[in-house]
Amino acid sequence: MNKRKIFIFLILLFVSSYPLYPKVLTYDKVLKNLKGTKYYKNEEFENSEKEYSENSINYPDDPRLHFNQGNSQYKNGKLEEAENSYNFSLREKNFKERSKAFQNLGNVKFQQKDYKNAIKNYRDALIEDPQNTDARYNYELAARLLQRQQNQQQQQQQGDDDQDKKKEKKDQQQQEQDQDKKQQDQQQKQDDQEQKKQKQQKQEEQKKDQKKEEAEKILKALLQKEKEEMKKEKEKMNVNKAKRGKYW
């Protein structure tokens, strides 16, 4: 057996004992997974993701490749991409790592603080494998955090309701104040109009009184003039009478 065949035989023998690699193996697939695993162990997650991604594209029906890809994406902080990869791996009903895939899906939701769906995935992980202690621990932790989150949301909602009530009360008070001011303005306007009306009436009365006074003055002057003229006429008549009188 030449060296190349021995090398391939050793690779296949090693990979068949490693739980993360697919059953159906090819030389190219094995090499990429070895490289991806090496990068992953060295925490070079971007490089491991690249190797696993190329493998999952070339062999889309292999659930373990998607699972490995999801692990690298999770480590890179690509939570949505990791979620998609885990879901791809779970399409295979006979995938032996279904419990871990559900657990990792729960971890994705846990990181997103979506504790409700995290609990659902941890529960599914325990259904697949009741001995999955990590999933059980994470389930209990997520349940406590969900309860705390709900309490905080309830308090926040109560605070928002109280704030809304305060705002509503303030708005109502402002509305009442505006209404009072509007009524005051209307009353002031009416008072101003009444005062203006009274002032106009007073001015008209004053004008009437002034005209009446002027008329009385004119009448008085006419009477005085007539009286004077009558006096003059009477004096004139007396003078004429005296001239025509007899002398004794």
| 57 part of a folded domain | yes
**Greatest mean pLDDT range, 4-18, 133-147, 195-209, 214-228:** 133-147
What confidence score (pLDDT) does residue 11 get?
43
Same domain as 106, residue 75? no
Average pLDDT score, the chain? 82
| 105 part of a folded domain | yes
Model confidence at 72: pLDDT above 90: yes
What confidence score (pLDDT) does residue 242 get?
61
Same domain as 103, residue 33? no
Model confidence at 233: pLDDT above 80: no
Same domain as 139, residue 91? no
End-to-end Cα separation, the chain, in angstroms = 202
Which CATH number belongs to the domain containing residue 56 in this structure? Answer: 1.25.40.10
The values of phi and psi at residue 217, to 5°, are -65, -45
Percent residues over pLDDT 70 in the chain: 85
23 against 109, higher pLDDT: 109
Number of domains in the chain: 2
| 150 part of a folded domain | yes
| 225 part of a folded domain | no
Structure tokens that stand for 9 in this block: 């035989």
Model confidence at 8: pLDDT above 70: no
Same domain as 113, residue 44? no
| 163 part of a folded domain | no
Compute and round to an integer the Cα radius of gyration of the chain: 55
What confidence score (pLDDT) does residue 166 get?
76
pLDDT in tens, 116-170: 999 999 999 999 999 999 999 999 999 999 999 999 988 888 877 777 777 777 8
Q: Is 25 exposed, middle or buried (0-12, 13-18, 19+ CB in 10 A)?
A: middle
Where does residue 43 fall: left (phi above 0), alpha (psi -120 to 50 degrees), or beta otherwise? left
| 79 part of a folded domain | yes
Percent residues over pLDDT 90 in the chain: 43
75 against 206, higher pLDDT: 75
What confidence score (pLDDT) does residue 21 get?
40
DSSP state of 94: T
Range of the domain at 104: 98-155
57-61, 73-77, 99-103, 124-128, range with the lowest pLDDT = 57-61
Model confidence at 6: pLDDT above 60: no
Same domain as 133, residue 109? yes
pTM across the whole model = 0.57
Model confidence at 90: pLDDT above 80: yes
What confidence score (pLDDT) does residue 240 get?
66
User: What are the residue ranges of helices labelled H in 79-132?
Assistant: 79-89, 98-111, 115-128
What confidence score (pLDDT) does residue 228 get?
80
Same domain as 110, residue 88? no
Alpha-carbon gap, residue 69 to 21, rounded angstroms: 12
Which residue type does 130 have? P
Same domain as 71, residue 20? yes
User: What are the residue ranges of helices labelled H in 17-44?
Assistant: 27-41
Model confidence at 246: pLDDT above 60: no
What confidence score (pLDDT) does residue 200 get?
82
Which of 107, 110, 34 has its CA nearest to residue 68? 34
| 209 part of a folded domain | no
Same domain as 105, residue 55? no
| 184 part of a folded domain | no
- Please spell the DSSP secondary structure of 138-190, one letter per residue: HHHHHHHHHHHHHHHHHHHHHHHHHHHHHHHHHHHHHHHHHHHHHHHHHHHHH
Alpha-carbon gap, residue 121 to 87, rounded angstroms: 11
- Tell me which residue has tokens 């070079």: 44
Measuring CA to CA, how many Å separate 157 from each of 115, 160, 166, 169?
Answer: 19, 5, 14, 18
